[in-house]
A and B are shown apart, each in its own frame.
Chain A
């Protein structure tokens, strides 16, 4: 039997909220790399904004998976090139429904020291907002919804 090793990068997209288990296992794995001195984490969660008389109950995310993974890899390369002290970068983004208070974005940047890890984490979040083909609609308690950033021409 031939066992073929598939070298496929894991998708950054996950269905539903990013769970405590996922976050704690990512954080728990950090001590495996003893040459790293600083980890910077960004956790994005769904806010229960009030718009007019309506409160946001959840956000429903959709994405273009192939392009999202391709763009995430470009972001990763850009960050690793710019911040030479940064050794690793993890991105997880939700698709589907995420309730208010639940986590929809997890970014973990690891480096030798704090300065670049913190700066690179902040830049990664901005690049995600700008470049990832992800869309969101806010779902209100009265079952109506509103697309974010739809920009009618």
Chain B
């Protein structure tokens, strides 16, 4: 059996997504990849697929499918509305 390296990821939800998930922070353990994290989040919060969002990893904007490391912070951000 192939032994995989699993990660602990801290997830932040902002704006309307904090309301949809009813939380601003969540820890996920045993995450294998970004896709795995997305699968877990969509499974837990199915409504999230109805919203647009951008992703930041460790306070840097990223494109889809970023490479994650253990203890990374992944932020889900709805369209910005400052001012």
Contact = CB atoms under 8 A, between A and B. Distances in A.
Contacts, number: 82
A104 B51 contact: no
Interface stretch (A1-9, A21-29, A32-40, A133-141): A133-141
Interface in A110-150: 125, 128-137, 147-150
A134 B59 CA distance: 13
B contact patch SS: mixed
A97 interface: no
**A contact residues, range:** 20 to 34
Q: Give the dominant DSSP class at A's interface.
A: mixed
A129 B79 CA distance: 10
A148 to B, nearest CB: 4
A44 to B, nearest CB: 5
B51 A151 contact: yes
Nearest to A93: B82
Contacts of B19: 147
B50 to A, nearest CB: 5
Contacts of B59: 64, 66-67, 70
Q: Which of the four size classes fits the interface of chain B?
A: 20 to 34
A153 B52 contact: yes
Contacts of B61: 67
Nearest to A70: B59
A83 B61 CA distance: 26
B79 A151 contact: yes
B81 to A, nearest CB: 4
Interface of A: 44, 61-64, 66-67, 70, 93, 104-105, 125, 128-137, 147-153
